[in-house]
Chains A and B, each alone.
Chain A
Amino acid sequence: MDALLHGFITATARLGLDYRFLLDDYERVPFVQGLGVSIEIILSTMTASAIAGLVLLLALRGRNRLVAGLARGFIEVTRNTPTLVQLYCAFLVLNMLITQWLRARGIDNPFKPFFWVVLVLSLHKAAFHAEALRAGFDALPSQTLEGAASLGFSRATRFWRIELPLALRAALPALVNNMVELVKASAVASAIAVGDVTYQSIMIWTQRDNVLALMLLILAFFGVLTWMVTLAGRWLERRYRIPGYGY
């Protein structure tokens, strides 16, 4: 293992890339931890954004006009402002106010930067998921809906057993695309010093000035992740294909 690592470092050094940080425990361990933190962020955000997206969709399609309007407004604001600004509004404004309020009562703030990143990214992507699902619902054939209604299914049963499964399938390509965007967007976590892979790399390259070497490593990491998400998406699309539709 060690020989392999040394071989890799000498080989890349000949190309002008400096990977010597891999030999230093003080830098390699945080870097590997950073990879783990990035994956944690991505997985938590995927789950939370799927749930929040469904809740937003329910709000959009619900009978309550006010709730639907609020959901619509939230989606528009989220889609048309930078994620980084949203993150700062949450972390530097909300979190600051919570910290101040709790400090006055002698309590530590339980919300960590990790929580805020997952919260903001999830809500951001939830808006995109809700939009994709809405388009899926719009694409449902009206005959199916009328048929379901004429069979006496209740509104809730129609939604959960007939409309949602079909709309999910129609929205699947857009949802997978959102997940790929989510993987890429997770790099903003470094902005508020969550110890993700981008943050740890910045720490290393400010010491060693080996930006290009680390950059290639991060790009490869994100490339593999987006590729895996794309593959999973293709598998789901094949698995849940509606017979008689598409190619």
Chain B
Amino acid sequence: MATDSAAAAGKFAVTRLPPGVYGVLGVLVTGALLWSLAPEAGSRGETLARFVEWSPALAHGFAMNVLISIGAIFIGTVIGLLAGALAMSASFPGRLARLWIIAFRNAPWLVLIYFTTYVFPFEIHAFGITVPFPDWLKVTLGLALPASANIAEVFRGAVASIPSAQWEAAASLAFSRWQILGKIVVPQCVRRMLPPWMNVYAIITMGTALSSLVGIHDLLDTAQIASSTVARSSFTVLTYVATLVIFFAYCYPISWLTRSFEKRLRTA
């Protein structure tokens, strides 16, 4: 047993640097190789200059991804908690909530994004005023649907991890079901829900790349425009590798944090 833990400690010391760092180094090396191999006339310095020229547009594009992801996780969390709580009851709304969760967990995200983009109107007339309904908001809603279904499941899982004896004990103290949920169960769930919730957020952020397919000027769309405008092979390599690295740099720390929270929860 003692040798086991020593070996584990030794292994830990070797892999102290997160493995993703090696991964991203691999991507950069491959990218550099392709970049130097890309056949074309003209200098590589020119390519770099063009990339610097385009970098503000790429940054602006990524800001759109972040905006959509934050909006989607916010709306998704509100709907998801509601649906998750409702899904626990045997009533008719409870059945509807379960249907909601099953439907949006099993639908391809891309199809949902097409759905909200093309089916919703581009502006809403209500009470005599016209409110524009921009495409980025539609995509946000399209991603909020599967997010809500996933968060409902996260909520259900967290509630299921609370011993049912607590419900019975609280009920014997004359708490109502909603009171037990709100005052006893949920406060204990928040800590357990944090890692899977962050996981959902990282997945949603990766899903925002799909918005480029419905014409949102996000990072990937900007990369496409840039590569077809500049029309140099080495620039194309550089732009897409940069896109990959930017998404990784945003999502990897989140998943790394998620794992460390999970580890802390397990030991606590």
Contacts and interface: CB of A to CB of B under 8 A. Distances in A.
Contacts of A227: 106
A36 B233 CA distance: 35
Interface string B201-236: 010001111101100000010011001000001001
19 contacts: A76-B23, A76-B252, A80-B206, A80-B251, A82-B206, A84-B209, A85-B244, A89-B240, A89-B243, A89-B244, A191-B213, A198-B110, A211-B114, A211-B118, A215-B111, A215-B115, A218-B111, A223-B106, A223-B107
Interface string A187-228: 110110000001000100100000110010011001100110
A198 B103 CA distance: 18
Contacts of B227: 92
B19 A73 contact: yes
B268 interface: no
A84 B25 contact: no
Contacts of B37: 97
B185 to A, nearest CB: 24
Interface string A6-31: 00000000000000000000000000
Considering the complex of A and B, which 6 residue pairs feature the smallest CB-CB distances, nearest first?
A: A73-B23, A82-B209, A76-B20, A73-B22, A77-B23, A187-B108
B247 interface: yes
Contacts of A219: 107, 111
Contact of B25 (A73, A93, A185, A218): A73
B236 A76 contact: no
A97 B38 CA distance: 7
Contact of A85 (B22, B25, B213, B247): B247
Contacts of A76: 18-20, 23, 252
A222 B107 contact: yes
Interface in A171-186: 180, 183-186
Given A76-B20, A84-B210, A94-B34, 12 more contacts: A72-B15, A72-B19, A73-B21, A73-B26, A77-B244, A82-B247, A84-B213, A86-B244, A96-B233, A190-B110, A198-B111, A218-B108
A70 B210 contact: no
Interface in B1-60: 15, 18-27, 34, 37-39
Given A85-B220, A92-B236, A97-B34, A187 B244 contact: no
B250 to A, nearest CB: 9
Contacts of B255: 79-80
B79 interface: no
A224 to B, nearest CB: 10
A223 B112 CA distance: 13
A159 interface: no
Interface in A51-81: 69-70, 72-77, 79-81
B241 interface: yes
A190 B214 CA distance: 12
Contact of A77 (B24, B34, B108, B213): B24
B133 to A, nearest CB: 16
Contact of A93 (B26, B34, B119): B34
Contacts of B15: 72
B247 A80 contact: yes
A104 interface: yes
Contacts of B109: 184, 187
**Contact residue range for chain B?**
35 or more
A77 B220 CA distance: 17
Interface of B: 15, 18-27, 34, 37-39, 103, 106-111, 114-115, 118-119, 202, 206-210, 212-213, 220, 223-224, 227, 233, 236-237, 240-241, 243-244, 247-248, 251-252, 255
Nearest to A77: B23
B107 A70 contact: no
Contacts of A77: 20, 23-24, 26-27, 244, 248
Contacts of A114: none
A222 B25 contact: no
Contacts of A69: 19, 22
Contacts of B119: 211-212, 215
Contacts of A115: none
A86 B111 CA distance: 19
A109 interface: no
A211 B121 CA distance: 12
A212 B115 CA distance: 7
A101 interface: yes
Contacts of B38: 97, 100
